[in-house]
Structure 1
């Protein structure tokens, strides 16, 4: 539990400021100098950690530019990082706000990849405890995958799968 908490705190320290999109893109005089300084520090911290992917100064400048763009557009309401990335993608090609686009993509995928990895190992531990080492690696991997994707597996009609397999592997000759 401590490891998960530490990972989530670390993720929040890096990307937490990007989660509150309405605060980042706040228009007008209400976004003061202190908020901008704090946002610049956060951008520089992300840029320092992911130095091979993005530049913190560019990220900060792109957030300010995006704020100006959205201030001029009253028809667009953006409240989540997902809506912001969709707006950026619809607005132009990959040259429009590239650092902001990368930062949001990183933020949205890092949390998912951490959770899915932990879930995989958790499921693997349950399967291994149940079946112990009485199976090969391929079967263990397949069972782990089926266990992780349980919701999708429940939607499969296994009678159709068996019929398709039987017809493909049929050795009988039709007379």
Structure 2
């Protein structure tokens, strides 16, 4: 070995603070990469449904709207019928032109609310379904939060199904029993 060289098995000496900073930078890089990936995916979904906003319906040609509607129906074949959806969009475009000044400022939720206000959900079932799909997309794509939400929804649905039993339960007593069982009292 030459003076100043380290043996191959000798680890470099870095401070705990430098080691912490290096680890933190790795975590931040991973988080940024994951957020960018998710942001891109969510933007693609938002782009798929963008034609259902009031401004897009008013400003986009019928031909273009029907093509976009057919493409979206192909992505959601269990929920949307391509032919009916295209026909509904064409009809809805003309309905929206009568509300032109009001329709231009409508976001997706406002369009859905207007359909319900005018009792048109039976006339435009595919548009209603598409808007509901878009508006019910998960706000987050975090797997742990989705699984928690799914578990909670499953439990709530069981409570709803077993309504006769749940109405007879004393929830205060159950909560007290649960709290007693889960209390972690440390005796010194």
TM-score band, normalised by shorter chain: 0.5 to 0.7
Give the CA deviation at 1:75.
8.5
Counterpart for residue 25 of structure 1: 58
Counterpart for residue 38 of structure 2: 4
Relative distance call for 1:107 and 1:72 in structure 2 (3 A) is same
Give the CA deviation at 1:47.
0.4
Q: How does 1:70-149 map to 2 (within 5 A)?
A: 70-73=96-99, 76-77=102-103, 78-92=105-119, 94-110=121-137, 113=138, 115=140, 117-118=141-142, 121=144
Give the CA deviation at 1:89.
0.8
In 2, Cα distance between equivalents of 1:5 and 1:75: 32
RMSD: 3.4
Max Rg structure: 2
Query: Which aligned runs of 4 or more in structure 1 are off by greater than 3 angstroms?
Result: 72-78
Give the CA deviation at 1:42.
1.4
Answer yes or no: is the 8 Å Cα contact 1:25–1:63 preserved in 2. no
Stretch of structure 1 that moved more, 74-83 or 53-62? 74-83
* Structure 1 unmatched runs, 5+: 125-140, 146-163, 171-175
* Structure 2 unmatched runs, 5+: 1-34, 153-170, 178-188
In 2, Cα distance between equivalents of 1:17 and 1:97: 15
Answer yes or no: is the 8 Å Cα contact 1:21–1:79 preserved in 2. yes
Q: How many residues align structurally?
A: 120
Relative distance call for 1:69 and 1:4 in structure 2 (3 A) is same
Taking structure 2 as the reference length, the TM-score comes to 0.51
1:57 matched to 2:90? The reply is no
Q: Secondary structure at the match of 2:136?
A: helix
Q: Secondary structure at the match of 1:25?
A: helix
Relative distance call for 1:103 and 1:2 in structure 2 (3 A) is same
- Of 60, 63, 69, 1:37 maps to 63
Counterpart for residue 150 of structure 1: none
